[in-house]
Chains A and B, each alone.
Chain A
Amino acid sequence: MSGFDLQWVGNGRHAAGDVRFTRRETFALGLCMCCLPAHGSAAHTFSLNDLGNGLFVREAPHEEATLANMGAIANTCFIIGRDSVLVIDPGGSVTDGRWLLSEIRKRTAKPIRHVVMTHVHPDHCFGAEAFVDEQPEFIGHAALRPAFDARGSFYHQRLVEMLGPENVGRLVYPTREISDVAEIDLGDRLIRIIAHGAAHTDCDLSLFDTSTGTLFPADLLFVDRIPSLDGSLLGWLREAKRLSAIAPARAVPGHGPAMVDFEAAMARQLRYLTALHDGTRRAIAAGIAINEASRTVAADQGEGWILFEDYNGRNVIQAYKELEWE
């Protein structure tokens, strides 16, 4: 594959064409790659937010994976501890992952001992291959492996169509699986990892940096961008409570600003999820069919959410499928 020199020319035209990319198609299976039209930003032009205390976040735009952004559409973070480095979500493609690795290496030579993949979605996982030579533990939820089995090839092929095989890389399976709670020490700095019940997906991990009180809820918390439901709505409402019980000082969401006030952001997300839940349940009780429900439930909740029109109907279908078995 190497030696084949694809030229990424005409990025101006790319931007024009990307407006016409279909969002629902790439959203199949909750694939979080559908966002706003590309602005021509490239992975290597992203900057890192230095949040202090060795904590760095690459804040990703609300975009769809394109050649221009190389799949870098989810937030990705790393923590430099006294002894080692931990990566949370290694990027949306191997190209994105390599960029992240180079940014880490600009800042520290400490070993990267842990790479956490917070859930199955490709914008959070496909950068892992870039870290293989560092020989970290690749950490995932106990349900991540079967989820990769079921969906990996589908995601891989979809992503390859957008980025080309040399940029996508291969899936890296977790070498350490977490089914409950685990703690990792970066050198007098404990990171607590929680394996959640089905919520955003069925394999969500969150991390809590105990020394700074920073929560990394990954895609259990969407900010600005409409949440996408790919696991269990009831579960998400439940796991949200569990996160709130931690009472973190601040949070780094999977999508949105690098750092947010957790309580306010979660309250806003809960308003939407609750409306989705209540509306769907009412529709089922009233015998409203799934297609009509997808057009009407929570339709008035769009204010302030990016991509609401593209995702709400699909969220209703997901919720309906789940709640109709109650």
Chain B
Amino acid sequence: MTRTLRTVFAAALVTAFCGGSASATDPSQPDAGREKRWQEIAGYLFDDRDIVPTDTLIKIDAPKRAEDAALVPITLTMPEKDKIKSVYLVIDDNPAPLAAHVTFGPAADPGALQLRVRIDTYTNVHAVAETKDGKLFSTAVFVKASGGCSAPSGPSDVEAMKGMGDMRMKFAKGVEKKSSEATLMIRHPNFNGMQMNQLTRLYTPPRYIDKVTVSHGDQTVLDIVGDISLSTNPVLSFNFMQTDGQPMTVVASDTKGSRWEQSFQVPSAMH
């Protein structure tokens, strides 16, 4: 890991910004600061592997200003999908920056992925594509959102827990032959540990979906590692290569050790 690097950055920041006297804003400095932040995160997540900026291998579609900071829809598209092994979604200024790591299996069509996240403050959002030859490519957008992490999971904690683990899957025709689109919905409060209960003045203990595996027949579609930035009632849309007659199976587990499994029949007349 890059602990030394981190310390250097920290020291630099203190020197630059905590000198004790206010000065006019240097408009270029903030961008440098955001880039430093990204480098620091990347250091932790990817050690010293090279990350090449790309505007072709992976793209992010996110609202410039979120309507709801606790539910910011993000769409990732990977036009050269045959090259893609996995994708990382990183919300730079969330305290736990890695929102999700999704690894595509043999039954996946890695062309597109949609998910919903909580965003705590105005921040860059990075998407990193890992290609099958082990290289990393990144892109970023700036999203204006505020307070997404401390926003409650529902009208009340009890209400938010109702139906925990219930799943739905919806299917739609994909854009090309054999590829179908599926939307997976999981009922789960995804308590992130940063939501405070008024009565007890305590934080609601974290409890969130951290692993989801989607299979089609005996082939893996997706392996998802989630973190506290995924929205309450996680919803994930993805594409898969359909084999008629084979069900979709979802296995999800949360950080309290609960595990849910459900199978869905795929409509066979989709193509």
Contact = CB atoms under 8 A, between A and B. Distances in A.
Given A198-B155, A289-B237, A149 B199 contact: yes
A28 B235 CA distance: 20
Nearest to B200: A149
B181 interface: yes
Given A156-B198, A289-B75, A325-B185, A314 B155 contact: no
A270 B62 CA distance: 31
Contact of B68 (A28, A146, A149, A202): A28
Interface in B56-102: 61-63, 65-71, 73, 75
B50 interface: no
Interface residues of A, number: 36
A253 B80 CA distance: 55
Interface stretch (B103-111, B156-164, B251-259): B156-164
A297 B156 CA distance: 28
A104 to B, nearest CB: 28
B201 A153 contact: yes
Contacts of B170: 287, 324
Contacts of B185: 324-325
Contacts of B68: 28, 314, 317-318
Interface string B115-157: 0100000000000000000000000000000111011111111
A24 B66 CA distance: 8
B265 interface: no
Given A29-B151, A289-B114, A290-B73, A24 B67 contact: yes
Given A150-B197, A156-B198, A294-B67, A201 B155 contact: yes
Interface string A261-300: 0000000000000000000000000010111001000000
Contacts of A156: 198
Interface in A222-275: 231
Contacts of B73: 289-291, 294
B49 interface: no
A178 interface: no
A151 B71 contact: no
B156 A153 contact: no
A25 B146 CA distance: 6
A82 interface: no
A147 interface: yes
A32 to B, nearest CB: 15
A198 B114 CA distance: 29
A197 B75 CA distance: 34
Nearest to A230: B155
B155 A231 contact: yes
A143 interface: yes
A85 to B, nearest CB: 28
Contact of B155 (A203, A294, A313, A325): A203
A151 B198 contact: yes
Contacts of B114: 289
Contact of A147 (B75, B151, B155): B155
Contact of B198 (A28, A29, A148): A148
Contacts of A111: none
B34 interface: no
A171 interface: yes
A153 B198 contact: yes
A152 interface: yes
B168 interface: yes
B233 interface: yes
A171 B116 contact: no
A110 interface: no
Contacts of B13: none
Given A291-B73, A317-B68, A154 B158 contact: no
A120 to B, nearest CB: 8
A295 to B, nearest CB: 9
Contacts of B63: 291, 294
A290 B156 CA distance: 24
A150 B154 contact: yes
B157 A28 contact: no
B228 to A, nearest CB: 17
B172 interface: yes
A203 B155 CA distance: 9
A321 interface: yes
Nearest to B153: A150
A153 B194 CA distance: 12
Contacts of B197: 149-150, 153
B196 interface: yes
A278 B222 CA distance: 33
Given A150-B197, A154-B151, A324 B157 contact: no
Interface pairs A-B: 4 shortest CB-CB: A152-B198, A146-B156, A291-B73, A202-B155
Interface of A: 22, 24-25, 28-29, 120, 143, 146-154, 156, 171, 198, 201-203, 231, 287, 289-291, 294, 313-314, 316-318, 321, 324-325
Given A202-B155, A290-B71, 10 more contacts: A28-B148, A149-B156, A150-B195, A151-B152, A153-B196, A201-B155, A202-B159, A287-B172, A291-B61, A314-B67
18 contacts: A25-B69, A29-B151, A29-B152, A143-B159, A146-B156, A150-B157, A151-B152, A151-B198, A152-B199, A203-B155, A287-B170, A287-B172, A287-B181, A290-B73, A291-B63, A291-B75, A317-B71, A325-B168
